[in-house]
Amino acid sequence: MNNTWNRTTVVIVVHNSCAVIGECLDTFGTDKKIILIDNASQDNTLDIVREKAPDAHIIQNKIGLGYGNAASQGLALVETEFALMMNPDAVFEAGTIEKLTSVMDQDASTGMISPILPLPGGGYDKAWNGAFDRRPLMPSDRDEEPRPEGRFCTWYVSGAVILLRMEAAHKAGFFDPAIFLYFEDDDLCMRIQKSGYTIQIEPAAEATHAVGGSVGSGWDKSYEKFYHMAWSRLYFEAKYVSFASATNLGLKQALRFGPKAVLYGLTLNRRKATRDWARFRGSLAYLMGVPASKTTKRSRPEISK
């Protein structure tokens, strides 16, 4: 194990990830520090983990805690300078960790950095985004966005593959325990920046990402996705804008998606009916003060800003 890996612990959250976790772990070999958190998998994910990474520290949750809460379990055990947070559907390229830690060493203000994420079918995942209050002004179609030529600071990076400075993580706090799924990355990025650190993208480093490969498919997965996207969006609005703004947005979402779900149901468009019914239910749940899941204990930010 070289000095770079001595300074880094890999943190991976899995849930029924047998189709992708093997290839992900193959890129690390058996001599890396790995903490893997399993969110109640019902497949043979852990059998693959034990075969590919026999020395990995495994946390096995009997019930799924969502991404952020599970990731925080892993981060709490990290004793190294950096944590490399990986989705199980990402494949780490050789030399990438050295490039990312080199940036961290050059600039102590860098709290979080992500590589470029090429997609298996071509192109790359736009793993960065603008400031929260400016995103509505950005184009919705980013397919023509050119690949960056050099390193740059950004407001947000996806949690698919990030190198996190643990000093910054301890200062900002780990993931918000009220969020079950979605917007947990946005929230952590906001707090990292408020703690005085920058967030960067390093195009010279790469990690292939099969978008959605760690989630699976099926109507139940679709319902879960859109339910939590709607709920978490309102929670995030309350936390960083105001509770009144979140309430107003929640009413708009409920009035928009409820009738659409009924319409799609009448036309037997099950996919869209499921999507919009989930959005309606997630919006309504937030408005009624229902926590995101049975494993979370509150539905409102501790401190609205």
149 lies in some domain? yes
The answer to whether position 51 is within a domain reads: yes
| 202 and 224 part of one domain | no
Whether residue 49 is found in the same domain as residue 188? yes
Query: In terms of residue numbers, what domain contains 278?
Result: 219-287
What whole-number distance in Å separates Cα of residue 246 and Cα of residue 252? Answer: 10
117 and 224 co-located in one domain: no
Same domain, 246 and 102: no
Q: What is the pLDDT of residues 191-216, one digit of tens each?
A: 999 999 999 999 999 998 876 555 55
Say which CATH number the domain at 27 has. 3.90.550.10
Does any domain span residue 302? Answer: no
Q: Report yes or no on 301 lying in a domain.
A: no
Residue 296 lies in a domain: no
Pick from 156, 185, 164, 210: which is nearest to 66 by CA? 185
Quick one: 199 and 272 in the same domain? no
Query: What pLDDT does 88 receive?
Result: 95
Contact criterion met (CB below 8 Å) for 11 and 35:
yes
Boundary-marking domain end, from 170, 188, 209: 209
Prediction pTM value: 0.92
Residues 110-153 have pLDDT tens digits of 999 999 998 877 788 888 888 888 888 888 788 788 888 999 99
Query: Are 133 and 236 spatial neighbours (Cβ–Cβ below 8 Å)?
Result: no
Amino acid of residue 177:
P
| Sheet strands (E) in 8-138 | 8-14, 33-39, 57-61, 82-86, 90-92, 110-118, 124-125, 128-129
Q: Do 180 and 52 fall within a single domain?
A: yes
| Model pLDDT, residue 212 | 58
Q: What is the pLDDT of residues 20-34, one digit of tens each?
A: 999 999 988 888 999
- What is the tally of structural domains in the chain? 2
